[in-house]
Homo-oligomer: A and B are copies of this chain.
Amino acid sequence: MSLSREHCLALDAHDELAALRSEFELPRGVIYLDGNSLGARPCAALERARELIGEEWGNGLIRSWNKAGWFTLPTRLGDKLAPLVGAGAGQVVVTDSTSVNLFKVLAAALHSQAERDDKRKVIVSERSNFPTDLYIAQGLAAWLDRGYRLRLVDSPAELAAAVDDSTAVLMLTHVNYRTGHMHDMEAMSALAHERGALAVWDLAHSAGAVPLALEASGADYAVGCTYKYLNGGPGAPAFLWVAPRHLAGFRQPLSGWWAHASPFVMQPEFSPAPDIRRALCGTQPIASLAMVECGLDIFLRTDMQRIRAKSLALTDLFIRLVEQRCAHHPLELVTPRDHGQRGSQVSFAHPHGYAVMQALIGRGVIGDYREPGIMRFGFTPLYTRFVDVWDAVDILADILDNRAYDTEAPRDAVT
Contacts and interface: CB of A to CB of B under 8 A. Distances in A.
Interface of A: 25, 27, 30, 32, 34, 37-38, 40-41, 45-46, 49-50, 53-54, 56-59, 61-66, 70-71, 96-100, 103, 107, 127, 129-132, 134-136, 138-140, 142-146, 152, 178, 227, 233-238, 252-260, 263-270, 281-289, 291, 361, 366, 368, 370-371, 412-415
Which 9 interchain pairs have the tightest Cβ spacing? A99-B282, A97-B282, A285-B288, A99-B256, A139-B255, A132-B257, A234-B286, A143-B253, A135-B270
A242 to B, nearest CB: 17
A190 B70 CA distance: 40
A46 B41 contact: no
Contact of A254 (B40, B100, B288, B414): B100
A305 to B, nearest CB: 27
A390 to B, nearest CB: 21
* Identical copies of this chain, number: 2
Given A45-B53, A100-B254, 13 more contacts: A27-B61, A40-B58, A49-B53, A66-B413, A71-B413, A96-B100, A100-B100, A131-B263, A131-B266, A131-B268, A136-B256, A143-B143, A143-B144
A37 B62 contact: yes
A254 B366 contact: no
A38 to B, nearest CB: 5
